[in-house]
Amino acid sequence: VMPDTFKQTWRNSTLVAHESSRLLGFDWIAKQLYHNIDMMIQHCGLPASLAECSDVRIYPLENQNSYHMSKARQRIEDATLEEVVQVLRRQYFEGKAD
């Protein structure tokens, strides 16, 4: 059974500012993603293969003048694990976009 996609879950969590607590929280979130990857890939509408794709979906919210937008993208990046770690560290821990 899929959870309600608009309901608050661990995916809508925030990380605290304290560095060691932030790293612990980031590790927990990464493990949650890893152990739920197949379900999340299917839920996002991404192909089970490694084929490149991009998808945007709009869901109007009932009785509200608003909507929920979902965007998913899948692609292969030509980078080492260390390069990816450095980019993610800059984006999520240092607040710098590449």
Give pLDDT tens digits for 5-53.
555 565 556 777 888 888 888 888 888 878 888 887 787 778 888 889 8
| pLDDT at residue 49 in the model | 85
Judge contact between 50 and 67, C-beta under 8 A: no
Q: Is the pLDDT of residue 3 over 70?
A: no
CA distance 15 to 19: 10
| pLDDT band at residue 96 under the 50/70/90 scheme | low
What are the helix (H) ranges across the chain? 19-35, 37-43, 81-92
Q: Where are the domains of the chain?
A: 12-92
| pLDDT at residue 13 in the model | 65
Cβ-based neighbour number of residue 24 at 10 Å: 13
66-80: average pLDDT: 88
Sequence-separated (6 or more) residues with CB below 8 Å from residue 73: 53, 54, 55
